[in-house]
Structures are given as structure tokens and as C-alpha cells.
Chain A
């Protein structure tokens, strides 16, 4: 994990190494200064030499300047290295995600990929900067201060050693138990926020059932729970500061007492005593800093792991060695196809022994209940997933022999969960063909029955689509997605429930346009509505991962029970057709 992350430092190795060096330089300067201060007091002030004060003062200023340079250097290089690492991490993740197959994406889920690219990366950036600047500095500071202190008086300095050990142990145990409580608190806190979110979203339900008081009661209880747990955590935290103070104070007092005795017997100078007292603060502050760094690192470990997972994920699908670049025609054959989403062959089979063959230019309807694997069936054609058994052939060859880009250019899929991107309508359409002329775009929209509403928009084809396509209705979005897919001029066109929000009449018009304008393109149309598929050449009826029937609509009506059931429920007497456009 650390290796994967560290590998991404790449061109930022120089600043990454320079930062801790600079920090050590700063520490040395910082530690030299108390010595110089002590000498100013001893030899300058008590020795009564103004020359010495000025002389040492100038040295001290020089050291301060050195410290400044190192400090600024550390600051700048640290920023360089950490922001650079963040950039490279994001790039490495994105590069790999672009190589992901559908099953890789399913494995991670969209929202978790977003978190990894954003929040997690920022966490690592901060932690890395912290490590570079502080993780070296704090121990270095402790060690240098210790050496300095011991060189002044080994006997007195042993007091520090004692204080450090005691304090370190206390801090370690307190922060460990506090962390545990905080973690529990955050979980509860998340749950509380989730329930608020639930309330905000479902406010109509709450109000309709007059459940305001009931919800308030629930919330009060949850808030009280959080209060109690937070209190536990904070009370533990509250001990930290005073313990630290107590350690500093008792060290100061012990050193003062012992030091005074040594001064009187001329074993120690007053200046040295003052330097020692300064080191005392330094050491204990660094110790606090070190704890903080350790906590930071532990907290960011989870982020590092999540990022490493994305970078290390092996894309499931690979291009063949000598890929075939040309797809001859739009014929499709499924030969004893088995499929499971879990690659290792575990889990339930989604498709079981599927066999069928479709000629180029046919239009095929696919119908069946939710979960009968309709979408899975068609996603194998453009090799969004690989079969676990048997083979899928397009244009007479196994899809695994083609170059994936060429295959997906030839097989155009309108996904069920489709997305438009921010940009103009033209921009979105040109996803299908980046060189498409305005005329070609308009023509595709004509076919998809999209031009009628586009032309009514004030900016027509230059209308900006907002992120997620929220400014067009569901039916409009589906038609734009179809137009976008048509621009690819595919050999095979797959519509996965892509007209569900389009009214029946428009739906019929789109299919008519397909029949007349792109007769040579093989069409697969998945739908819930019988009316969307009943004019197809043939219909595949899916049931629980198997083909239950594959025939012309007329024959199916006679022979296939499932198809007839669906047909009757939607078309038959007393049945429930759709009345108006669905949203």
C-alpha cells in the first residue's frame, strides 16, 4: 500500500527529499539558538561584555537567517512535493479507471470512486505534507534538544528523559482510548445525519402523517446518545493538556532546584540553566507534535488504502494480442453462453446456456420481468462483460478477437442508466462522432424525434445541458441519448429500456424511423412495454436468465405463456395500457 502510493511521487522526489533535510536544518538552527541565548546571558550580561552580546547577537541573527531559509525551503518544497503527489495520485487513479471494465466499475461504485479521487486524495496530500515537514522535524528536534541538553549537563538532562518517557506513555494511552471513542462517535454522528437527510427528503410523508413529534422524539434520543459519547471522548481529551503542563512544570521545578545547587557549587552557569529550561519546552512540544503526526498518519491510512485499491485494480477485460479491427456485419450469435457477474465463477449464474442467432439488419425485441437478465444479455454483445462460458459472436467472430474500441464503435448501446454531460447539445451529440457536421447531428435528432423539442429551445442545438442533464425531461434525455448513439453509425444498435419515458406515439415514430432509415443496422430493443417491441422482426422472451421463447410476435402470442401474460395485462380487455407520457 505504502509502496503503491510512494511510487507516485515520481518527478517530485527531489522536493520530497529536500523537505525533511530543510526541516532538520531548521531544527539545528532552532536548537543552536538557546545555546547562543544562554551564552549571551552568561558571558555577555553576567560577564558584563557588551561586545560579546553584540558579537553573539550577530551570530544568532545569522543562525536565525539560516533557520528562516531552511524553514521557508521546507515550507515551499513540502507544498511542492505534497501537491505534486496528490496530482500524480489522481492521475494514476483516473488513468486506471479509464482502463476499467464495467465489472471493475461495479466493484467500486460511482460514489466511492468520487470520494477516492477527491476527499481521500486531499487527506493524503495533507498527511504527506505533514509527514515531510513534521515527522522528521519532531523526532529530530527531540534528539537534537536532548543532545544539546546532555552536553550541557548530563545529570540534569536525565530529568527530561524521565519526563519524556512518562509523558509519552500517558499520551499514547490516552489518545488511543480517545481515538476509539471518537471513531464510535463519528459512526453515530453519520447515522444521525443520515436520519436528518431522510427527514428532509421525506418531509411530505412526515407532514402528511403528522409525525413531526414522533420524528422529534427519535431525533432527541439520537442527539442525547451522541452527546453522551462525545462527552466521554472529550473528557478523555481534556486530560491531555493538563498532563502535558504538569510534566513541563515539574521538569522546570526539578531542574531549577537541582540546577540552583549546581550553580552554587559552580558546576553549572546561570546561562546554561536558562538554556536547559528552554530545551525543556522544546522537547515536550515536539513530543506533542509527534503524537499529532502519528494520529494524522493513522487517520490517513484508510485513505491511502482506498487509493491504492483503485491504482492496483486489474482491468478485467484486455485487448487481444492481434486484434481484428474490422467488424464485417451486424450478425450476432450466442453459443451456449453462461454468465456470472463474479468472475471467479462463484455466485449465481445470471445467464444459463443461452443460444440464439440473429442476422444482420434484423430488429429484435427483448422482454421479460425485472431480473430476468435482459440487460445482461445485450451487454455481452459489445463486450461490456466477458462470458464465463460459451461464446458471443458478432460478424462471425468471437467478440474477444476484436479490438475493443473498434467493437464498441460498431456496437452502439443506449444504456438504461444514461447520462448527458455538461455542455451544449451539439457537444453531447458529438460523443457519438466527434467529427459529425451540424447537419449530421440534426439528422440523428430527426431520427430520434429529438429535433422537435430542441428546435423549440431558445438556443436550439447550442442549448447548454446542465450536469446530469437536469434541465431536460426524462423523455427528452432518452431521445438525445438515442440520437447520440445513432451518430456512431453503428452496425448494431442496442436500446436498453431507452424509451420508457417517451410517450407511446413518439416511441412508435422512433421505431418507424429506424426501420426506414437504418434498415441494415441490427437493432436490439429491450422494453417493459409490449407496444415497444411488437413490431420487431422477432422477440426474445427472457425468464430467469434463460431464453423462454424466441420467435415472431405473432407466433409468440400463440405459443409463449409469459409473452401472452404480459401482452394481456397491457393490451387485453380490462388491461392497463399507458395513458400519458411517463416521467
Chain B
């Protein structure tokens, strides 16, 4: 998984110009994004705008000064006997003041932007995460985890670049273009027309080159994707390559893909590199043309055009092309960022898990033979059930009685996975689910805790329809130990405490002992304070399972859902895991996806599932006597029906 993550900044490939994905409603997305930004950082943004105005204005003042420097100050002084530099000094002082304000504004702008961008990203990141936590399991089951991750690693990051760099740049470029354009117009309308014509040519050529390079970038990306895919596959299987002496074939294919990538990468890079020099020299050509035309005008004093004005105009002309180029580049960055924003918003627009439940789980105590609610931690729990029609509240003890009544379910409504499942697990009973892969065993466990909602039938928990129970309380009353063990970054103790956040040290130790985890934990370098990282990758599969059992034990739920998985553990650890599981199951209503004979044999009820239906039920002896599917599975006579 780790390698799926891109670098810290998820650096999007540079020079992806022209390959920006098509968006359906770019303006809408931009609007929503700006709405979010201005909602909280409106003042920042307004101040930033003002700062940009000020600094651009100061800059233009400076350029205008070049004209007055020559025309108003230097030319009159030339040839004077005792030149008076006073006015010049004053003018320079004035411009220095402008510049000073400009620099201060620029500084303020970047600092404000830093606050706004980082604050905005922090809020957005938190908002996305908070929303993600509310999404139903279905969302995570139907979206590739890599795609969800890329919202955090790539999309939010492209936004950072867009907000902190592109936005101010665009604003700056636009203001610069407008003010330079106006200044040029003031200096000379005809010359401005000449200059505009050159800019048009420049834009035309740039778009042309960008298009070609964009096409080449697309083929570079696909060649790169192909080579990377091949690399991932062969490196993953490199040991197999060696065992089969497959090195020559692998190398041959690698070289072929490598050559292809080199060709397309060369073309893509060459074309995008060329844009720069072309623009630079075009702007020089524009300078020459303006100089010739302007020179002719100035020499003939056409419409009062002065030499100084020409000098200024030429400077403006030079600073005209740059922001236009900037603008086109930044616009591309914005489109890319908007694609990311679109994905972010789509995640934010996902519907959170709904919960109409109103029956809650409360601490209870018995008073005069009747259950009542209390604030103390009594260790006893009760369902608080308010009946609207009679306006009464009654309390029902939490016992762990689970009933399925004709439950039908499919992950999507067209494809039914479970048909008419009915069962009754009384408090403390153990129900074993057996059957081949894909028979629907795991699906049943997804329904009790309402990871998914059933389409037909009813599930009752202590006699209450689970649809009426608040999801949080329902889940709190259920313990789950899944086949894939997931641990969290933190100490071993933190991971056990995950089952009950306010667990005391004694409770944690007791849970670890019950799960048979205490022994190995004590042998870890820092015992219970050993840090686990990367999903507990420093522990063995068996040890991780032991921790998961301890985590469930500390929560001490009346109902347990257990997915026994014993592969890839050596026999001794397996024994520990099994003992732990057995102890955990004792005295609880347990639904277990069973793999071991001992579990199955000890079960109060065995359900044999086949293609979403219960085809046999009963205890071990009854089922054996039946000589049906269970008997076949047990004796292993009929091979491989599972496949």
C-alpha cells in the first residue's frame, strides 16, 4: 500500500499542459471553491487583492518614471551650466516611496496568502476527513482505496498550488496586463495596435505548440503508465522471474517499453521546451517592429509622440508579453486543480450514513425488580425505548438475543446475495456459519451491525428491530474480530484500548491475558508501550490477530461476530489464537464464520450456507446424521465443490 502513495506533495507531473481533463461545470466548481475560500478567509482575500493592486500600481509608476526621467529631468538638464539636481532627487524620492509601498504590499500579500491557504487547506482537509468518517461502509467497498487516498495526497495538494500561487499570479497578471495596456494606450494608440498584433501572433504560436506538446504528453503518459505497470509487475514477481530463468524475456520486454517511452518523452519535452525561446524571440521581434514604427512616429513628431514616450512604450511592450504567457500557464494549473476540487467535492457530496434510530443504550440498574436508567457505570446496560404512540419509555436489558426473520439482501438490489434467511440466536449461544467461499457467510455479519441495510425481512436485537436502534449504540453492543486484522499507529496499549477508550490498566491487562496476547506483548522491546506502525507490520499475522481479540475483549460486548481465519499462522500461534477466541466466545452470543472443527462441533447451531440460502441447520450430530452437504464437507469426500 505504501508505494501507492505518491511523494509527500504528490507532485503532479510538470508540463502537463494541454492534457488537463475535461470538466463538466468548471465555473460551478470554481464558484463553490471560491465560496468556501471566501467564507472563512474573505477578509484575507480582499486584503490580498488590495495589496496586489498597490504593488502593481507601484510597479507601473516605476516604469512611467523612466519616461519622465529622460524627458522631464535629464533632457532639460543636458547642456546646462550648473544643473540643478534637486527636482530629480525629489522625483527619485517619490518613486522610492512608491516602490517601498509596493514592496511592503507584496510582502503583506504573500504573508496573508500563506495564512489563508494553509488555514483553508487545514479546514478543507479536516472537513473531508470528518465527512469521510460519516460515510457508509458501502462507499469504502465500492471505491478503490487508492482513489480515496489520492484526494488527500494529490487533489488537496494541487489546490494548495492553485490557491497560493496561481490565484495571486492570475490576479497580478490580469491587473498588470490591464494597467500596462492602458498605459500603452495613453502613450500611443497606433503603437499599441502594432504591439497587440505581435501578442496575437505569440498566443497563436504558443497554443499551436501547446497543442502538439499536449498530444505528445498524452502519449508519454500512456507509455509511462505501461512501463510503470510492467515494472511494478516484474519487481513484484522478480523472485519468480529468477526461479524460472525468465530474465532474458523480461529484459527484452522492458527494453522495448523503455525505448517507446524514451521516444514519446523526448517529443513531449522538446515541444514544451520550445515554447519559451519562441516567445522570448517573438517579444524581441515585437520590440524591433515597435521601435521602427515608433521611431518613425517620433521623428516625424506624429501626433505629439515624443522620444521619451517611445522609450517608455518600449519598456511597457516588453512587460506585456510576460504576464500573458504567465496567464496561460496559470490557467492550465487552475483547470488541473479544479479537476482535483471536483473529486474533493464529489467526496463531500457523498451521502453520509443515515440513522433514524432512536432506541439508545443506557447504563441501567435494577430498582424494585425494575430496570431504570442511571448515570453511574453499573456495568449493566439497557435499551431505552420510547414509544411515541403511548408516550411511554420502557427499558429492556441488553442480553444479546438476535433474530433474523426472512432476511433478503443484495449489495445491489438486482443481485440478491442472501435469500430468506431466518435464524434465532439466544443469549450466549454460538452460531457457526459454514459453507464455501462466496456462499454469503461474511454478508450475514455485515447486516447485524448495519454496515449494510437489508432489503426485506427483519433483524431483531433483544426483540427490537435494529432499524430503530441508534447505529452507534447498536455497534457498541457488538464486537467484531475480522479476518483482515487492522491495527492503528500507536502503542500496543493504545490499540487494545481502542475497544474501550476509558479502560483501566487492569482491564487492558485482563483483556490481553484473555486473548493470550500478554505473553508476546511482554517480550516486545517496550512491552505494552511498543509503537506499532504501518498496520502493525512489525508484528506477525498471528500476533496481530491476538491483539484484535484483546481489543474486542476489552470492549466486552454481549454479541460477537467472529471471522475465524487461521491460514498463514504457524501451528503454535494458531493454538494461542484459537484458545483466545474460544475464551472470548464464552458466554456471549457469537456468530462465527467457522473454519475449525472444534468451533463448529461446540456450536449450538450450525448453518450451512450455499448460494445465499441456508440449506442445512442443526448441531454437529444432527447434521452428520443427515448425510447431506455438511457431511460431505466434514468428511472431505466431495472434492472442490467450493470452486
Contacts and interface: CB of A to CB of B under 8 A. Distances in A.
14 contacts: A40-B295, A57-B289, A67-B280, A94-B255, A198-B535, A199-B133, A205-B480, A210-B472, A216-B126, A242-B104, A369-B571, A371-B570, A473-B437, A578-B597
Interface in B604-643: 633-634, 636-640, 642-643
Given A83-B262, A117-B231, A419-B237, A370 B570 contact: yes
B475 A207 contact: yes
A252 B62 contact: yes
B574 to A, nearest CB: 8
A185 B472 CA distance: 36
Interface residues on A, range: 35 or more
B110 interface: yes
B262 A405 contact: no
A369 B638 CA distance: 30
Interface in A195-216: 195-212, 214-216
A476 interface: yes
Contacts of A194: 2, 5, 489, 534
Given A382-B243, A505-B636, A579-B434, A209 B475 contact: yes
Interface string A554-583: 000000000000100110001111111111
B291 A237 contact: no
Contacts of A569: 571, 575
B640 A503 contact: yes
Contacts of A431: 240, 244, 246
Interface in A58-78: 60-61, 64-65, 67-68, 70-72, 74-76, 78
Nearest to B568: A500
A-B pairs, top 7 by smallest CB distance, nearest first, are A71-B277, A75-B273, A202-B486, A238-B110, A370-B570, A419-B237, A186-B8
Given A189-B8, A216-B133, A98 B247 contact: yes
Interface stretch (A228-236, A329-337, A357-365, A389-397): A228-236
A204 B89 contact: no
A211 B74 CA distance: 76
Interface stretch (A42-50, A147-155, A162-170, A287-295): A42-50
A244 to B, nearest CB: 9
A341 interface: no
A90 B258 contact: yes
B8 A223 contact: no
Contact of B643 (A33, A231, A476): A476
A386 interface: no
Nearest to B498: A209
Contacts of B270: 75-76, 79-80
A193 B5 contact: yes
A101 B251 CA distance: 16
B78 A201 contact: no
A72 B262 contact: no
Interface string B50-88: 000001000000100110011001100110100101001
Interface residues of B, number: 169
A117 B114 contact: no
B571 A570 contact: yes
Nearest to A570: B571
Given A110-B236, A201-B1, A257 B88 contact: yes
B245 interface: yes
A74 B281 contact: no
Interface string A235-257: 10111011001100110110011
Nearest to A271: B311
Contacts of B83: 264
A238 B113 contact: yes
Contact of A200 (B145, B262, B277, B555): B145
Contacts, number: 442
B126 A79 contact: no
Contacts of B555: 209
Given A75-B276, A111-B3, A264 B475 contact: no
B200 interface: no
A83 B265 contact: yes
A105 B571 contact: no
Given A60-B284, A576-B598, 7 more contacts: A41-B310, A198-B489, A256-B92, A431-B240, A577-B597, A578-B595, A579-B594
Interface string A490-527: 00000000001101111001000000000000000000
Interface stretch (B148-156, B188-196, B327-335, B369-377): B148-156
Contacts of B302: none
A75 B19 CA distance: 20
A75 B274 CA distance: 6
A87 B149 contact: no
Interface stretch (A2-10, A344-352, A409-417, A435-443): A409-417
A95 interface: yes
Contacts of A146: none
A206 B133 contact: yes
Given A270-B70, A417-B239, A576 B258 contact: no
Interface stretch (B28-36, B116-124, B423-431): B116-124
A114 B277 contact: no
Contacts of B487: 202
A449 B267 CA distance: 50
B604 to A, nearest CB: 17
Nearest to A119: B7
B236 A419 contact: yes
A239 B103 CA distance: 10
A419 B240 contact: yes
Q: Which of B14, B262, B434, B478 has the most CB of A within 10 A?
A: B262
A48 B310 CA distance: 13
Interface in B135-169: 137, 140, 145, 148-149, 152-153, 164
A13 interface: no
